[in-house]
């Protein structure tokens, strides 16, 4: 972990008349940001992580601007001739009749009469990617409906980012607040808060999220709850388990910072407790929090995927197009697919595992690279 990062630089001498400009006041921080950016730029892995993250963020912004109300994954349809069953579906990607019309490209027939999977179909030119450029996502084998992986990944990026960023931001705010108070006050307050943190941290995080989310779900009416309520519920469930990590990190950092000379100077010149915490201690203790935040942004979709994989239905009738959820669905669909398929007619739907998994993996690993680079750049002891 990052230890002391108290590179605040020389303190700016306060000007009595008119006050210093913003640029003058922020000079040490701007200098430090420049220094951090310099070291970050030289770290290849961190830059790769940053580039991937920017691409993902771009996708998310594109998704946000094109379709705000994309709350359900797009269904596509495959039929063995009787299109009547698939009328509700917006798009029929593959039609065939057993023994009469052979299945179309990428469409695999099974003894059950339904195609089990549909492979990625490319139109030959990049601008026309075909109906299912990343293949189908089979959730229930033997059903004519499939999820469109491409659509889900492309237009679900914003949900992943929004949910994880809001959880992490809220958790970090709570943790920063409590950690700063705990570290600065010391004594009974510190002892009490830190025992509370110990209690929360001794429950395995994943189980804690599961328990809180299952309990919260029972509080919602079984039908008719607003879509946003389910999202708030998810965020609340994560928040309960998330703040202690930040509180502990911040507290450790504050313990170091509060002994620094500039805090003493501020106290000597008559600054109040609130001002010292807000203006001197918190700004100098946030760097480890940034690192932890960037790591957690990548972890949250993984945990959401895990709870969806374990069978928690956050939404009663739909699946949120969110990367963790899509990856989990690809896997649950696959395991039932293994169970149901007969080996001789089996197609191994590699696309179903690869693309959602790759999206989730790239997101998490780019965030990891970036966090690692940040840690190196912010902590002078680790600089190579």
Which residues here bind other proteins, judged by CB under 8 A?
195-196, 198-208, 210-212, 214-216, 218-219, 295, 298, 302, 305-306, 309-313, 324, 327-328, 331, 334-335, 338-339, 343-344, 348, 353, 357, 360-361, 364-365, 368-369, 372
HEC string of 255-302?
HHHCCCHHHHHHHHCCCCHHHHHHHHHHHHHCHHHHHHHHHHHHHHHH
**Do residues 106 and 120 lie in contact, with contact meaning Cβ atoms separated by under 8 Å?**
yes
| DSSP 3-state of 69 | coil
Residue 133 or 324 with smaller CB distance to other proteins: 324
**CB of residue 280 to other proteins, shortest distance in Å:** 30
Work out the burial of residue 287: count CB atoms within 10 Å of its CB; fewer than 13 is exposed, 13-18 middle, 19 or more buried.
buried
Residue 127 or 218 with smaller CB distance to other proteins: 218
Residue 263 or 308 with smaller CB distance to other proteins: 308
**CB of residue 99 to other proteins, shortest distance in Å:** 23
**CB of residue 174 to other proteins, shortest distance in Å:** 16
**CB of residue 9 to other proteins, shortest distance in Å:** 28
Task: Tell me which H or E stretch contains 148.
Answer: strand 145-148
Residue 45 or 165 with smaller CB distance to other proteins: 45
Residue 91 or 335 with smaller CB distance to other proteins: 335
**Do residues 291 and 378 lie in contact, with contact meaning Cβ atoms separated by under 8 Å?**
yes
Compute and round to an integer the Cα radius of gyration of the chain.
26
**CB of residue 294 to other proteins, shortest distance in Å:** 12
Question: Phi/psi of residue 145, each to 5°?
Answer: -95, 140
Residue 95 or 352 with smaller CB distance to other proteins: 352
Cα separation, 11 vs 283, in Å, equals 14
**CB of residue 364 to other proteins, shortest distance in Å:** 4
Residue 4 or 353 with smaller CB distance to other proteins: 353
**CB of residue 26 to other proteins, shortest distance in Å:** 34
Instruction: Please choose, from the candidates 155, 153, 162, 154, the residue with its C-alpha nearest in 3D space to the C-alpha of residue 300.
Output: 162
Task: Tell me which H or E stretch contains 234.
Answer: helix 227-257
Strands of the 145-148 sheet, one edge to the other? 92-95, 75-79, 145-148, 136-137
Residue 148, beta-bridge partner list: 136
Residue 186 or 316 with smaller CB distance to other proteins: 316
**CB of residue 78 to other proteins, shortest distance in Å:** 22
**Do residues 174 and 243 lie in contact, with contact meaning Cβ atoms separated by under 8 Å?**
yes
Cβ count near 227 (within 10 Å): 13
**CB of residue 168 to other proteins, shortest distance in Å:** 16
CA distances from 361 to 131, 181, 303, 370 (A): 25, 37, 13, 14
At a CB cut-off of 8 Å and minimum separation 6, what does 38 contact? none
Residue 151 or 296 with smaller CB distance to other proteins: 296
């Amino acid at each position: 972990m990052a230890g002391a990062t108290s590179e605040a630089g020389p303190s700016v001498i306060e000007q009595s008349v008119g006050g210093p400009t913003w640029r003058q006041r922020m000079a040490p921080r701007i200098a430090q940001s420049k220094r951090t950016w310099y070291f970050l730029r030289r770290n290849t892995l961190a830059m790769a992580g940053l580039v991937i993250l920017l691409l993902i963020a771009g996708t998310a912004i594109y998704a946000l601007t094109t379709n705000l109300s994309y709350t359900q994954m797009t269904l596509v349809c495959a039929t063995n001739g009787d299109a009547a069953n698939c009328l509700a579906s917006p798009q029929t990607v593959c039609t065939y009749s057993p023994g009469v019309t052979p299945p179309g490209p990428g469409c695999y027939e099974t003894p059950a009469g339904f195609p089990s999977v549909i492979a990625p179909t490319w139109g030959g030119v990049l601008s026309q990617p075909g109906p299912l450029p990343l293949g189908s996502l089979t959730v229930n084998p033997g059903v004519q409906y499939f999820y469109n992986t491409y659509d889900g990944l492309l237009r679900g990026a914003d949900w992943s980012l929004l949910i994880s960023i809001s959880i992490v931001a809220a958790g970090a705010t709570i943790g920063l607040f409590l950690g700063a108070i705990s570290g600065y006050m010391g004594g009974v307050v510190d002892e009490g808060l830190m025992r509370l943190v110990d209690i929360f941290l001794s429950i395995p995080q994943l189980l804690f999220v599961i328990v809180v989310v299952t309990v919260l779900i029972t509080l919602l009416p079984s039908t008719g709850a607003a879509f946003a309520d389910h999202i708030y519920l998810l965020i609340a469930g994560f928040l309960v388990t998330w703040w202690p990590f930040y509180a502990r990190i911040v507290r450790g950092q504050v313990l170091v910072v509060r002994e620094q000379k500039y805090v003493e100077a501020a106290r000597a010149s008559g600054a109040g407790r609130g001002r010292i915490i807000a203006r001197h201690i918190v700004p100098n203790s946030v760097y480890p929090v940034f690192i932890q935040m960037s790591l957690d942004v990548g972890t949250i979709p993984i945990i959401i995927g895990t709870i969806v994989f374990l069978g928690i239905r956050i939404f009663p009738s739909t699946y949120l197009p969110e990367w963790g959820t899509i990856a989990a669905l690809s896997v649950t669909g696959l395991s039932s697919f293994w169970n149901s398929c007969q080996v001789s007619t089996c197609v191994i739907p590699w696309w179903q595992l690869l693309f959602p998994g790759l999206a989730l993996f790239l997101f998490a690993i780019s965030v990891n690279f970036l966090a690692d680079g940040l840690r190196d750049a912010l902590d002078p002891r680790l600089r190579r």
